[in-house]
């Protein structure tokens, strides 16, 4: 699972476009660059550079490759023998490298398949294979012990119904289906992957009355339309199936039966029927080979043009005459998780923790997802352990974690974070996450106060393919794509600013990887990192074919981007652990916030104009007159009128924060000019306040309808899943056309920002002493 998986060129561009759309390049006036390494004195920066050079010299691509081959040598889903063996092997490695390490176990609900079947029973018959055969020339794909494809946390069921094709199965698709006069009530839907998170597809189908859901990978999005299928190329072969969780993680991640508290051995588990994130209908993933006979047998209206995939026949929406019988029966027992936790104790600021994490469980072999990121983290840990044995001691405690159970729903990280919530909110100052890793462009998302830290580190790491800095390659990538036909005005504007030498902003985060509990529940400053965009590794995402042989050929040949990620993530961890003052710049957050608030204004204005335009068309019977009488399409439902939204509290809060961020930047700059000469007790206060700044962005009541998510600036969208919503309580109220809720949460979010500003003013006062 990952915030941007699969990593294709298009996704890399989308991520970087989102980054730029999310926040303009920070103007120098808002956060002046002090000209040196953020958080360090000149002498401290020189020592830090030397330390990072020693760290880099200890990273070995061939060793990383060997670890990946070993760790992906058997299926390693939750509860498998190899999952436990990997955890125990990593524990031994951490200890050998000098870390204080242990395994923490959790007992979690993790259903696995007992029986699955999909049969076409009318107008012809066909039985889906629900199987991924080994690929000739790929010995890894023939390894034994592979479970059949499944979607975890869908319901058990034995249902029969006519098929309805619902495109990507998103809200707009159901509106279009209604205009075609087709209902899914009492039917089984077939939906293609893409357009939104997989878990929303069966949930929305259930809300519209469906009794079952089949999710397939259409080759237009994920197969031969995007490139040569495996084994000739990297894309999904006809029998490839994307497994995945369908839990309602937009409510809360983690074990569905221990909401808000850790599922430690002996913890109380709510009954499965009462678990709010478990779905009510059966769900199965299928290949496009299995989907073809089902879709070909369908009748009803032709699918709208934008709904048509790349299979060689006309797409119809149904309902029927295709009728399907599907069965799902699962083992709903608890399974053990094995989180590996390792520490290097700090010296002068041991009660401040810098955390780093990646998960080790996969759906099958998991070479790309997640082990390409996991072995990179191990390389960092080995190098830091060697430095520690040579006498280096970090100021702050470093905690490295290998999470279990990420794939079914961020289980290992969430249960650990909920179990240790109080201590983490007292001590954690940074969490650095990775997940998958390929080759290409650096993606960075997370807390906007960390933007300059990421840029400084990226400017100092060499891109393996071009031999320029990672940051320079990011700039070039943005500039080229902003110049292409169809590039958005926002992308063009911001790529120009970034190209002029400003920082490349980091993206907001939604969900899909292990940062959620830290950023969105506990308020720990967070980064999510990874390279991608060139390997098209997504073609085997969550399938049997995500194995060592595929990754070795297509993912990161030579494993040089594994080394590059180890450098980027390792340098960030080392700087955060060693800095005199935590390396954060709050002007970057303020500038990004300004952009988010402007986006809300534009969203409301656009909704108002769209409603007015639609009303004119409806009142003139334009939709009826324009329709083809032989293929009738009903007019759309009338949009509600948009009143004036009271954004004044947010506008004021953003303006005041900008002034406070400028005052802080000036005070910090004056301190840097004096060599960061701050008395020890005062310095401890400064770092304590800085380390807890992100927690000021939480509201303890949480987001409306989903209180587990408390961060009022970035969160996964209720109807987007992985994708983020910024200022989410207001943004989603506008999406829902709930104007009173938008007014209410504009004021709530403004109060949160005022609390953030008040603590920033405290910081400024300390620096001015």
Contact 429, 385 (CB under 8 A): no
Burial label for 64, CB within 10 Å (0-12, 13-18, 19+), is buried
Strands 428-434, 526-533: pairing is parallel
Q: Which residues contact 615 (CB under 8 A, 6 or more apart)?
A: 638, 639
pTM of the predicted protein model? 0.95
Dihedral sign for Cα atoms in the order 481, 484, 488, 493:
positive
Contact 298, 93 (CB under 8 A): no
CA triple 361-362-365, angle to 5 deg? 120
Q: Residue 478: its pLDDT value, please?
A: 86
CA distance 558 to 60: 11
Q: Residue 482: its pLDDT value, please?
A: 86
Q: Residue 253: its pLDDT value, please?
A: 98
Q: Residue 18: its pLDDT value, please?
A: 43
Distances 652 to 246, 658, 725 between C-alpha atoms, Å? 40, 10, 21
CB atoms within 10 A of CB 466: 11
Q: Residue 493: its pLDDT value, please?
A: 62
pLDDT in tens, 526-556: 999 999 988 676 789 999 999 999 999 999 9
Contact 450, 527 (CB under 8 A): yes
CA distance 244 to 407: 7
Q: Residue 285: enclosing H or E segment and its boundaries?
A: strand 283-286
- DSSP per residue over 560-598, as a string? HHHHHHHHHHHHHHHHHHH-SS----HHHHHHHHHHHHH
Dihedral sign for Cα atoms in the order 676, 680, 681, 683:
positive
Q: Residue 2: its pLDDT value, please?
A: 59
Q: Residue 501: its pLDDT value, please?
A: 77
Q: Which residues contact 144 (CB under 8 A, 6 or more apart)?
A: none
459-468: long-range contacts (C-beta < 8 A, 24 or more apart)? 460/52, 460/571, 461/564, 461/567, 461/568, 461/571, 462/564, 463/564, 464/439, 464/558, 464/560, 464/561, 464/563, 464/564, 465/439, 465/560
Contact 202, 152 (CB under 8 A): no
Residues of the chain with pLDDT under 50: 3-34
Q: Residue 692: its pLDDT value, please?
A: 98
Contact 693, 525 (CB under 8 A): yes
Residue 189, Ramachandran bin (φ over 0: left; ψ between -120 and 50: alpha; else beta): beta
pLDDT in tens, 236-281: 999 999 999 999 999 999 999 999 999 999 999 999 999 999 999 9
Q: Residue 15: its pLDDT value, please?
A: 45
Distances 263 to 155, 267, 707 between C-alpha atoms, Å? 21, 5, 19
Query: Which among 269, 286, 277 is positioned nearest to 223, based on CA atoms?
Result: 286
Query: Which among 132, 3, 18, 7 is positioned nearest to 75, based on CA atoms?
Result: 132
Contact 287, 241 (CB under 8 A): yes
CA distance 654 to 626: 46
Q: Which DSSP category does 291 fall into?
A: H
């Amino acid at each position: 699972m990952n915030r941007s998986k699969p990593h294709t060129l298009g996704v890399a561009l989308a991520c970087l476009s989102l980054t730029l759309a999310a926040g303009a390049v920070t103007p120098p006036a808002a956060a002046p660059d002090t000209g040196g390494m953020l958080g360090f004195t000149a002498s401290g920066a020189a020592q830090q550079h030397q330390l990072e050079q020693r760290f880099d010299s200890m990273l070995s691509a061939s060793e990383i490759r060997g670890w990946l081959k070993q760790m992906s040598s058997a299926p390693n889903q939750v509860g498998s023998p190899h999952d436990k063996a990997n955890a125990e092997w990593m524990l031994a490695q951490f200890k050998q490298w000098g870390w204080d390490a242990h395994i923490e176990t959790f007992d979690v609900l993790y259903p696995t398949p007992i029986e699955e079947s999909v049969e076409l029973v009318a107008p012809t018959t066909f039985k889906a294979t629900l199987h991924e055969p080994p690929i000739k020339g790929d010995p890894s794909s023939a390894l034994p012990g592979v479970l059949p494809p499944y979607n975890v946390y869908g319901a058990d069921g034995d249902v029969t119904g006519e098929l309805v094709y619902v495109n990507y199965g998103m809200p707009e698709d159901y509106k279009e289906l209604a205009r075609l006069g087709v209902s899914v009530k009492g039917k089984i839907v077939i939906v293609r992957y893409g357009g939104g998170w997989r878990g929303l597809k069966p949930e929305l189908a259930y809300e519209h009355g469906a009794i079952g859901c089949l999710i397939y990978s259409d080759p237009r999005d994920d197969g031969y339309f995007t490139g040569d299928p495996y084994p000739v190329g990297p894309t999904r072969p006809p029998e490839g199936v994307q497994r995945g969780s369908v839990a309602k993680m937009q409510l809360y991640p983690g074990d569905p039966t221990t909401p808000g508290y850790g599922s430690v051995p002996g913890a109380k588990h709510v009954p499965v029927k009462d678990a709010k994130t478990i779905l009510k209908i059966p769900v199965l993933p299928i290949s496009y080979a299995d989907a073809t006979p089902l879709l070909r047998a369908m009748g009803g209206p032709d699918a709208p043009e934008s709904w048509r995939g790349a299979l060689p026949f006309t797409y119809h929406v149904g309902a029927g005459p295709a009728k399907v019988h599907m069965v799902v029966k699962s083992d709903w027992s608890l399974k053990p998780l094995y989180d590996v936790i390792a520490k290097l104790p700090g010296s002068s600021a041991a009660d401040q923790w810098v955390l780093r994490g990646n998960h080790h469980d996969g759906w099958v072999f998991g070479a790309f997802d997640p082990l390409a990121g996991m072995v990179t983290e191990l390389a960092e840990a080995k190098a830091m352990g060697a430095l520690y044995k040579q006498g280096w001691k970090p100021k702050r405690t470093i905690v490295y974690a290998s999470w279990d159970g990420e794939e079914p729903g961020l289980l290992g990280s969430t249960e650990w974070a909920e179990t240790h919530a109080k201590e983490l909110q007292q001590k954690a100052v940074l969490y650095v996450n990775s997940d998958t890793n390929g080759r290409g462009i650096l993606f960075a998302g997370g807390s906007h106060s960390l933007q300059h830290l990421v840029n400084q580190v990226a400017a100092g790491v060499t891109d393996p393919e071009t031999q320029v800095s990672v940051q320079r390659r990011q700039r070039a990538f943005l500039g080229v794509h902003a110049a292409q036909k169809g590039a958005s005005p926002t992308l063009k504007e911001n790529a120009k600013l970034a190209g002029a030498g400003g920082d490349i902003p980091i993206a907001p985060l939604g969900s899909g990887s292990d940062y959620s509990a830290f950023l969105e529940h506990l308020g720990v400053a967070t980064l999510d990192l990874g390279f991608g965009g060139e390997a098209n590794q997504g073609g085997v995402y969550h399938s049997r074919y995500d194995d060592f042989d595929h990754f070795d050929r297509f993912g990161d040949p030579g494993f040089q981007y594994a080394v590059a990620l180890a450098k980027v993530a390792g340098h960030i961890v080392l700087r955060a652990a060693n800095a005199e003052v935590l390396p954060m710049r709050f002007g970057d957050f303020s500038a990004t916030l300004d952009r988010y608030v402007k986006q809300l204004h534009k969203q409301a204005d656009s909704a108002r104009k769209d409603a007015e335009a639609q009303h004119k068309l409806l009142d003139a019977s334009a939709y009826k007159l324009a329709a083809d009488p032989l293929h009738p399409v009903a007019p759309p439902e009338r949009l509600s009128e948009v009143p004036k939204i009271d954004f004044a509290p947010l506008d004021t809060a953003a303006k005041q924060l900008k002034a406070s961020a400028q005052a802080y930047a000036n005070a910090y700059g004056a301190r840097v000019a004096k060599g960061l000469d701050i008395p020890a007790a005062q310095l401890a206060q400064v770092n304590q306040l800085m380390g807890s700044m992100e927690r000021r962005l939480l509201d303890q009541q949480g987001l409306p309808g989903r209180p587990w998510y408390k961060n009022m600036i970035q969160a996964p969208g209720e109807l987007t899943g992985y994708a983020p919503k910024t200022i989410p309580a207001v943004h989603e109220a506008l999406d829902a056309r709930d104007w009173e809720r938008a007014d209410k949460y504009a004021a709530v979010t403004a109060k949160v920002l005022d609390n953030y500003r008040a603590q920033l003013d405290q910081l400024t006062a300390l620096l001015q002493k």
